Structure 1
């Protein structure tokens, strides 16, 4: 919006020339329309356009981009919102069914300087990057503590950057361990709690010919590998990057032990060599084929596996850990932010308010089967009736850990993925790979810190 002096200049121009009709040719230019948004509001307020009632009554269109599959699921909610809010039209734009590509589209739109999206529907790991770039509005104008109280602490904290809230949560996510209950019963074992127990039970199941593979996980060089390693690292008592100090922990003994554990599952034959090419879907399908004892994956697998040949023969639990350390589910999830460049921020907030309604969320989760961010919905009778595993998910998400909430997360994750992939495929030892990853990460964060200091 224009500053007050700019607004005065525009009003003087209109008054002096008296050519309201020429203004219409300017309005159709989107960039000019956004630039004189405040002037338009002022002109309406003083009644200059009272003889154009149909123009003044046009609803404001608010847009956000989302993966195509979820966009289809959200369409009925857009229709419901539009019916209840005749002055606002919510338009959900279908994007690719690839999270990274959706992030790229949002980023490209912002870099062009004239984003068509008023709301940013974002993954938890985008928040700091987008906020640091100045692309998100601070939500403190609309959000107070009472509004956040019903949500799990992790999903709200994941929406903050430098003490300010930039994302209102909708749904959560968290990595967990799936296990075959029938296999464990046949070998007389309880579900494993530690990495060592997982290895021992896997070998027993394999030795008895019950399954070809003991443990399947996401080893491909992509974001899923960073998410997995976050959990294993937490289980060994290590850390990746301290967001408060930018201290890097990848070359510490705990991190090296985490990488060595993953590599040993391959060298011991518990995991296949090809696991270094697997993402979520490859691992899900292999687990559902009935030939795997343990799987690390996200909650979306539960309803799909319940429709497969292993239905009724598996269960879920929090991820394993080393003795004396904690289980850690890598926290994921999605929520809504508002574009700092949107001329319709108040209308965008109306949309977020609509999705914050507990009845709307209940219906949304009944349709999608995603994981709630609101605590009470994990135990909601209607949801539990359809998704009996929801109470178990609450235990998983409560034991969650964030990937480093730093502005340089994307570059930091890329560094980890490259070197961790080298360790897992055997082209470097885990120690050498993680020492190199730590050095490169420190260089990245140190360089960025120097840039910030110079700007200040």
Structure 2
């Protein structure tokens, strides 16, 4: 009886106006909390991660921050890497081999493209950019971003081998800038004798990637080739390649180049040239600013020209340079592409060049009035980069380059003759490429069966 009576009392209870008011407030607070959580989730910006050399972060930071201000839905995490490009490549490779790379945007050196593309580490960008837009870039820079006819890298900076020379000394003896190797040797010998200049020609002979880049230019100048990337034919044991090695070796034995050149990289040769110790220097565009800075013994006495060659052939400059790609494992490829489009625009590149003195990848910027006013040698650089000598676009390029470096060093230091060294280099390179052919044939048979 008690329970029934109590139940009837509860049924007759009517909520008061105060109850409903507090209930509405409570429900409103709950909904507000839910909406705030949902809004925070929706408005959380996408974070893109990019690994860069320390010196490049300073160059690019203003433009990255500018992009962020115009694209509040995207944030960029710029991870500082080491100065050495080989170490940067190693970090990228390790990240990809371990699985999903933490990097969305890949800043690629020109020689990394075949390796990264063949491994399936970077996205195919071919259909993201028009042929009209690509035509505005230096052709060699675009070709350096291709692998098997597909585009994997958009260029943002050029680099190319340059021949520097002492314009004051050539004028003093009434000599024109050389067009051939023989003319350069003759001018060097005359100035060594008449003006007591210690050395004629400086080049990078140390056993590292720089010697491969330098040799590609001399090889081109003698009409030779390293590897035909389409047929995988090796040309290192042909007469032209042997002549190229002999020419370089003879600059040492004939005291045109110092004996220590076999241990020199870019900076060792640059410092010797900057101190007034040589007539000619093969190096990269960055040298111009340094040899013309205050305190340089050759300031205002330097000129540049495209690479020279043997009589009857053409010269070619080894192209370097950098460009942006997108990691295949990136979860935000569309946002990454928006950033790449921004950073590779002509307007941004012009401002970058004016701020840093880097070499453009757009043809028009080499002759832009504002750029030329600050860097008067850029029109000459255009003629340099438009005569390229590309390193072979092989997925196994690093191994092929290591083979060449070892045997060039053996020839330059007299441990092997030019012919012996190039025959050995050719043999090892053919073995390397033979393994590639086997893999390609195996993949082709698998595809045919399936």
- Is the 1:81–1:90 Cα contact (8 Å) retained in structure 2? no
- Kindly indicate whether residue 103 of structure 2 is the aligned counterpart of residue 117 of structure 1: yes
**Is residue 352 of structure 1 aligned with residue 356 of structure 2?**
no
Where does residue 58 of structure 2 map in the other structure?
A: 72
5 Å-filtered alignment, 1:174-323, equals: 174-307=160-293, 308-323=296-311
Report what 2:23 is aligned to: none
One of 379, 389, 396 as aligned partner of 2:384:
396
Query: Counterpart in 2 of 1:43?
Result: none
Q: Name stretches of at least 5 consecutive residues in structure 1 with no aligned partner.
A: 1-47
**Distance in 1 (alpha carbons) for counterparts of 2:309 and 2:328:** 41
Counterparts of 1:320-335 in structure 2, within 5 Å, are 320-335=308-323
SS at match of 2:137: coil
**1:306-333 deviations in whole A, cap 9, x for unaligned?**
1122111110001110011001000111
1:454 equivalenced with 2:442 (yes/no): yes
In structure 2, runs of 5+ residues without a counterpart are 1-33, 445-450
- Residue of structure 1 equivalent to 2:74: 88
Task: Spell out, residue by residue over 1:317-366, the C-alpha distance to the aligned partner (whole angstroms, 9 max, x if none).
Answer: 01110011001000111000110110010010011010122111111111
Mean Cα deviation higher: 147-156 or 390-399: 147-156
The separation in 1 between residues aligned to 2:387 and 2:403, in whole angstroms, is 26
**Are the counterparts in 2 of residues 236 and 257 from structure 1 also a CA contact under 8 Å?**
yes
TM-score by length of 2: 0.89
Match of 1:429 among 417, 434, 443: 417
**Aligned counterpart for 1:134 among listed residues 101, 117, 120:** 120
Alpha-carbon distance in 2 for matches of 1:220, 1:373: 28
Q: In structure 2, the residue corresponding to 1:296 is in which secondary structure?
A: strand
Q: 1:210 Cα shift?
A: 3.4
Is residue 176–residue 316 contact of structure 1 (8 Å, CA) maintained in 2? yes
The alpha-carbon deviation at position 63 of structure 1 amounts to 1.6
After TM superposition, give the deviation of residue 50 of structure 1 in Å.
Answer: 8.9
C-alpha contact 1:78 1:92 (8 A) present in aligned 2: no
Task: Say whether residues 1:99 and 2:72 are aligned partners.
Answer: no
Runs of 4+ with >6 A deviation: none
RMSD: 1.3
Tell me what 1:10 maps to: none
User: Where does residue 155 of structure 1 map in the other structure?
Assistant: 141
* Corresponding residue number in structure 2 for 1:16: none
What's the offset of the Cα at 1:51?
5.2
Distance 1:349 1:86 in 2: 15
Q: Is 1:340 aligned to residue 353 of structure 2?
A: no
Could you say what secondary structure the match of 1:371 adopts?
A: coil
Match in the other structure for 2:403: 415
User: What is the distance in 1 between the residues matched to 2:270 and 2:378?
Assistant: 19
**Which has the greater radius of gyration?**
2
- Check whether the contact 1:183–1:210 (CA below 8 A) recurs between aligned residues: no
SS of the residue 1:155 aligns to: helix
1:188 is displaced (CA, Å) by: 2.1
User: Aligned partners of 1:432, 1:141: CA distance in 2, in Å?
Assistant: 46
Q: Indicate conservation of the 8 Å contact 1:78/1:91, yes or no.
A: no
> How many residues align structurally?
409
**Contact conserved, 1:90 with 1:351, CA < 8 A, in 2?**
no
Note the C-alpha offset of 1:91: 2.1
Distance in 2 between residues matched to 1:69 and 1:278, nearest whole Å: 23
How far has the Cα of 1:189 moved from its partner? 1.2
Helix, strand or coil: the match of 2:217?
A: helix
C-alpha distance in 2, partners of 1:214/1:245? 38
Q: Distance in 1 between matches of 2:344 and 2:58?
A: 19
Q: Distance in 1 between matches of 2:109 and 2:144?
A: 10
Report what 1:173 is aligned to.
159
Deviations 1:231-269 (A, max 9, x none): 000000000000110000000000000000000000001
Q: Which moved more, 1:433-442 or 1:400-409?
A: 400-409
Query: Alignment partner of 1:295: what SS?
Result: strand
